Structure 1
């Protein structure tokens, strides 16, 4: 009976130990690392209120999904809205409340400049109107 002897020489190191070490390092750094950027100061996000009536009075600015504007139900261009808001801001303080009713698919590039312009004009009571989806709309998804 002839038995073969294993070849002598360099057989190589098993890679299993290296894979285990790399895996443990990955898990370790995932556990101790921060995945989000945090502010260097305390940030308290706004509270959403639902089920309450809208406050009476003031102006209502509507923004469609395509970026079209209407102020108090009248379609207007962006310049006309800005002029009307500027005229409203020239009155005696306090300035009227401004409610912004934006379509859920309206892009922020349309919404944020409107808010910035209103704040620059002195409007400090700005409400963003959000409407929860209807149960039928959720079922259709």
Structure 2
């Protein structure tokens, strides 16, 4: 498992975004550590939604700022990472049990679950194929 560090943030963002991210630490709002990712709101010219997660050993940062929208690991992602380090917190591993998601799914009724699954499977060919191959345990 990979570990969050200042060196990793510098490597992912590059020197310019890293140093700019240092000045945004106080702008990190609503930081939440979820089962498989970290989400935060970072105040800038607007309020930007930031998410940090692992893809294997690669730290992935997503941000709704213009630079982040282009796929770059931006200063807002750096700021969130630095706040996590200051708190002694890491980005959870990508294979962690997502208790929050399981709990929410358990609270939904069957029709709502079918609709959500249909919406995603209609756009995701591999998911659709998995569903079509699945056997119905109640039919046995």
TM exceeding 0.5? no
Higher strand share: 2
Q: If the length of structure 1 is used for normalisation, what is the TM-score? A: 0.23
Bigger radius of gyration, 1 or 2? 1
Q: If the length of structure 2 is used for normalisation, what is the TM-score? A: 0.23
Higher helix share: 2
Q: Which has the higher contact order (CA 8 A, sep 6+)?
A: 2
